[in-house]
Structure 1
Amino acid sequence: MRPTEPVGIAAAGLWLPEGRSYASDAVATGRLRERAAGELGHDSVPDAGDTAPPDAAVHAARLVLDASGVAADALDVLGHAWMYYQGHDLWSPAHYIARRLGASGALPVGVQQVCNGGAAAVALVSAWLATAESEPAARPRLGLVTTADRFAEPGFDRWAGDYGVAYGDGGTAVLLRRPAAPGDVLLLRSVATYAAPELEEMHRGTDPFMPAARDLRERVDMRATKRAYLRLHGVERFNEANERAIRAVVAEALCDAGMTASDPRLSHVVLPRFGAKTLTESWIPVLARCVDARPLDFGRATGHLGAGDALAGLAELVRRGLPAPGRAALVFSAGAGFTWSCLVVEAPAS
């Protein structure tokens, strides 16, 4: 997706709880092998405790609205993405977030694309802003994107429910503005997405369809479904698809942004918040063959934030003052399905 006119990122925020869950505790109780803990590379990840996921999204959204000086009732659309249970069985967390913020004029929309949901919501809200009617003299159109996840016991084991990933709790938010305005912290130049539906079986395995959540197992067990997939297909099918997808989203995102892999404006690559071994073996080598830019791993202290990796990456870029004015960065996310996304953002020239 290439915006027809610049979409401004007015602010980006990450809210993390004070509580922590420790890898050493998971090893001590036998939930996680010591070798697996070392491969993950996280000493601890944020634990939200009693804070419900939509409330974490509200916290992040308020950070963003306060930083931008935008009132909630000025929002035109609010897209909320998540990976795991939001607190009620049949309910719209997006509407709850809009109500808590006072975004009475916004259209609340839920976006479900598992771990890639935040990036998908940025693309969808940007497209909505681009097609919304707006006279040249009228005010800019404003879209808020939020994500939030809490990987709580007993239904989810954040340390041992998956291979190569530890799951942290938190909320993220990004405020999008069309057209961009002076003072926007970043410009969204493009969003590229690649899907490989043939891999959906990795999170289904050979399990039967069930009438309700966790009727088959007491806990979410992505290891079980992945083992079933690998017994049938082996690991090479996924490895080949992963490299093909990363290459495809990089090429499309750069092309849509009017850049090349060796463009001197491209300074950083923000990695998804996966385990250290997964990044070292499956991401960093592929990206090194795709672009001349420095990889940034912001996930050591957070783990994987469910649907929030891409937005958390944007927030961390803003917090660190990256990239430099006139320079650009790639921001990645990926998730079950499988789907991969790459955002190209540029810091306005000073």
Structure 2
Amino acid sequence: MHLAAHAWYPPGRDLTEDAVLAGRVDPRTARELGYDGLLVSPDTAPPDMAVHAARPLLERISCPPDALGALFHASIHYQGHDIWSAPHYIARRLATAAQPIGLLQQCNGGATGIELAAAALLADASCGPGLVTTADRFFPTGWDRWRGDFGMAVGDAATAVVVHRGEYATDLMLHATGTVSVPELEEMHRGDDTFNYTPLEHSPVIDVRRTKRTFIRRHGIDRFYKAAHQGIREAVTESLANAGLEADDPRLRWAVLPRLGRKAMEEAYIPPLTQVTPAELLDFGRPTGHLGAGDLNASLAQLSREHRLNSGEFALILNSGGGFTFSSFIVGTS
């Protein structure tokens, strides 16, 4: 399957050194996260961010909006209105009749959208290309971007990926995917809270640390590490097998990491990944922070933009989302 990708980044950044000086993050947490800074979009709402990512991509590859078959939009945070469909808004702004579909797969939403778009193209010969957008903005009144979760800090960004059969310009080829769900870990984002009647009844802002502390007290952090390591190994192994690649194939140039904090990756993601493949690790997240539903999709765009792959080479892109789901994509230039 053919892919074309673009990422939209806002001009604003919250530099780590400024955040430490202002008390938005403590020095130890800043060191463990390892980010240079976080992207900040103070004025542009997430659905408009998605349009800003999609419109230039469609123009660049000469794909008319009315050729699209489906539009998948993924996010993890508030899109700007209650009881409202951001995907339909994006479709309207792009002037496309593609079916708009919203995805709530947490941080794996962008990856899920690509898999669904590819599946639709394989299943229906009349289906037009699929457009996958992601967009998240972490406004401080609803989400503390530095301290809202363990193991990551979040940046604002949007991405767009067109999945097609080869009739438009191509940045990368999608050769295979591997996705593994570990639903026993959904409790990490629920804790022992009862089900709410309305949003934010349990805390005035999103506080993932609170529910994760409950999970750790009950089960221990090793419960997460064991399940995550197994899920990552299985997803990576599955993707390599589906691509017909051996784990140590010299053509596998890169293993691209999710844009999580450095300590979290060293403890939960890098060990199982390197157990499966010796491919060189690539980390795009230090200047951006974690991009909500868009990590994998932004990395597709960056791989292509920076010409990281030569002809015949492959990259493995690892991603995950709360719930938990782990995905591994194998992409190449041909």
TM-score of the aligned structures, taking structure 1 as reference length: 0.92
Cross-structure match for 1:39: 32
Offset from partner CA, 1:9-28 (integer Å, 9 cap, x none): 1x210100001123334434
Cross-structure match for 1:223: 209
Moved more, 191-200 or 276-285: 276-285
Q: Say whether 1:306 aligns with 2:300.
A: no
The number of residue pairs the alignment matches comes to 334
- Alignment partner of 1:79 out of 72, 75, 85: 72
> For 2:18 and 2:213, how far apart are their aligned partners in 1?
25
Offset from partner CA, 1:196-250 (integer Å, 9 cap, x none): 1111110011112111111221110000000011000001110011110111001
Matches within 5 A, 1:127-206: 127-134=119-126, 141-178=128-165, 180-181=166-167, 183-206=169-192
Preserved contact between residue 188 and residue 344 of structure 1 (Cα < 8 Å): yes
Matches within 5 A, 1:1-350: 7-9=1-3, 11-104=4-97, 106-134=98-126, 141-178=128-165, 180-181=166-167, 183-348=169-334
In structure 2, relative to structure 1, the CA distance for the partners of 1:86 and 1:182 (3 Å cut) is: closer
> For 1:285 and 1:37, how far apart are their aligned partners in 2?
22
**Percent identity (aligned):** 48
TM-aligned CA deviation for residue 258 of structure 1: 1.3
Q: Which runs of 5+ in 1 are unaligned?
A: 1-6, 135-139
TM-aligned CA deviation for residue 185 of structure 1: 1.9
| Equivalent position amino acid for 1:57 in 2 | A
Instruction: Give the secondary structure class of the aligned counterpart of 2:49.
Output: helix
Preserved contact between residue 61 and residue 168 of structure 2 (Cα < 8 Å): no
TM-aligned CA deviation for residue 33 of structure 1: 1.6
> For 2:14 and 2:190, how far apart are their aligned partners in 1?
28
| Equivalent position amino acid for 2:25 in 1 | L
> For 1:164 and 1:264, how far apart are their aligned partners in 2?
31
Offset from partner CA, 1:124-175 (integer Å, 9 cap, x none): 11111111133xxxxx831111100001120100000001101000000111
> For 1:204 and 1:282, how far apart are their aligned partners in 2?
20
Moved more, 158-167 or 282-291: 282-291
Preserved contact between residue 247 and residue 286 of structure 1 (Cα < 8 Å): yes
In structure 2, relative to structure 1, the CA distance for the partners of 1:156 and 1:182 (3 Å cut) is: closer
Q: Which runs of 5+ in 2 are unaligned?
A: none
> For 2:89 and 2:167, how far apart are their aligned partners in 1?
29
| Equivalent position amino acid for 2:161 in 1 | V
Instruction: Give the secondary structure class of the aligned counterpart of 1:141.
Output: coil
Preserved contact between residue 186 and residue 347 of structure 1 (Cα < 8 Å): yes
> For 1:160 and 1:24, how far apart are their aligned partners in 2?
15
In structure 2, relative to structure 1, the CA distance for the partners of 1:300 and 1:54 (3 Å cut) is: same
Moved more, 52-61 or 41-50: 41-50
> For 1:130 and 1:170, how far apart are their aligned partners in 2?
30
> For 2:245 and 2:19, how far apart are their aligned partners in 1?
44
Moved over 6 A (4+): none
> For 1:27 and 1:93, how far apart are their aligned partners in 2?
34
In structure 2, relative to structure 1, the CA distance for the partners of 1:182 and 1:207 (3 Å cut) is: closer
> For 2:67 and 2:75, how far apart are their aligned partners in 1?
24
Instruction: Give the secondary structure class of the aligned counterpart of 1:261.
Output: coil
Instruction: Give the secondary structure class of the aligned counterpart of 1:125.
Output: helix
> For 1:193 and 1:233, how far apart are their aligned partners in 2?
25
